[in-house]
Amino acid sequence: MSTEHEGRIKVGISIGDIHGIGPEVVIKALSDNRITQVCTPIIYGNSKVISHYRKTLSLQEFNFNTIRSIQEIIPRKVNLINCWEEELKIEMGVASTVNGVYAMKSLEAATNDLKSGFIDALVTAPIDKHSIAPEGGFSGHTEYLAKAFDTSDYLMFLVSGNLRVALVTGHVPVSKIAPLITKERIKQKLNVMIKSLKRDFGIRKPRIAVLGLNPHAGDSGVIGNEDRDIIAPTVKEAFAAGLLVFGPYSSDGFFGKGQQEKFDAVLAMYHDQGLIPFKTLAFENGVNFTAGLPIVRTSPDHGVAYDIAGKGIASESSIREAIYTAVDIVNRRVDYDEVNEKPLAFGKLTGER
């Protein structure tokens, strides 16, 4: 990772559901001084809410600088922008549409600064979709940001070290998955994945494994036709075009044998097919990255966890990794874009043609 931009990268953090574990894990993660050595974090929330959590959870060592706008930030310090002034009753672990209202205020403020180029990346603390849907009319952060940045070619990418798992379909009912598995959709996701692996992760010739839809990848049509008639031909076409794409693999045997270690990324057909093995292997340190957007957005790979909110036991590992991953990707994009602005010069330097 290039260190040229470290410390100057501004990472916005939307506070998420104020009754979930978001405020707690944000405070815990940003209490680690190593984060301010690589970026300047800006919390989009409310100083009274953060102070309440700091006091209730005995996290008094956490300090932050309250500002009115992004122009007032202090580099290499934790900054907080007040997105609302009213005082709220904090009920940790309690779902409410009120939570959705303030989660949206935070997200909208952070997104506006992201659009204006005032911050370099966004890390989103978890929201409760039931609380936020009446307010925002959408199913999650990914869809909101895709709409905000007018992007249709995006990809849910779960990452942890060298383990990277992406999805062809996301938050859709199981009964509706099969009709969505088309050649066009798989090609689209593969294209987004390959571009991201090159630009965001620095992998020049990525190797990708594609999972099948049905048990045993369809058993040559015995258990469904999608693997034989849709997925396998698409993989074959991609490979014939010079892409290192292989499959379809039966997902149980694939992860059971540790085959994911032979690839730079895995493309799963649906949510649980990809997320169950991913979270089994990387629950504490997994990061959700939205590939394909013109901006960098990451999040922890867990939800609001109302059942443990306010108990002081929520782990900050995932959101800490989300912050570091966002910084890494910003740096890699800068380096990649600088190199590819002058491809001839790069070729001469390395001896490539």
CB 309 within 8 A of CB 178: no
CB 11 within 8 A of CB 75: no
Which value, in Å, is the radius of gyration of the alpha carbons in the chain? 21
pLDDT band at 132, cuts 50/70/90? confident
Give the pLDDT of residue 233.
97
Lowest-pLDDT range of 137-146, 267-276, 336-345 = 336-345
Phi and psi at residue 113, to the nearest 5°: -70, -35
Give the pLDDT of residue 3.
44
Phi and psi at residue 41, to the nearest 5°: -85, 140
Token pair 């506070």 is found at 15
Instruction: Please report, for the chain, the start and end positions of each structural domain, with discontinuous segments joined by +.
Output: 1-151+293-353, 153-291
193-208, pLDDT tens digit by residue?
Answer: 999 999 999 999 999 9
Which helix (H) or strand (E) covers residue 122, if one does? strand 121-124
Which residues, at least 6 apart from 153, have a Cβ–Cβ distance to it below 8 Å?
A: 188, 191, 192, 292
**Closest to 62 measured CA to CA, from 43, 44, 88:** 43
Give the pLDDT of residue 341.
73
In this model, does residue 309 exceed pLDDT 80? Answer: yes
Give the pLDDT of residue 188.
96
Planar angle of CA 170, 274, 14, nearest 5 degrees: 55
Q: Please provide the CATH number assigned to the domain covering 1-151+293-353.
A: 3.40.718.10
The structure's pTM equals 0.90
CB 41 within 8 A of CB 33: no
In this model, does residue 345 exceed pLDDT 60? Answer: no
Give the pLDDT of residue 350.
35
Q: Name residue 154's amino acid.
A: Y
Q: Which residue has the higher pLDDT, 58 or 341?
A: 58
Give the pLDDT of residue 56.
93
**Closest to 101 measured CA to CA, from 72, 133, 144, 126:** 133
**Closest to 81 measured CA to CA, from 152, 9, 15:** 15
Q: Mean per-residue pLDDT for 325-344?
A: 85
**Closest to 181 measured CA to CA, from 269, 271, 272:** 269
Q: Do domains 1-151+293-353 and 153-291 have the same CATH topology?
A: yes
Give the pLDDT of residue 222.
87
pLDDT band at 133, cuts 50/70/90? low
- Name the CATH topology of 153-291: Isopropylmalate Dehydrogenase (3.40.718)
Residues of the chain by 3-state class (helix, strand, coil), percent to 5: 45, 15, 35
Q: Name residue 54's amino acid.
A: R
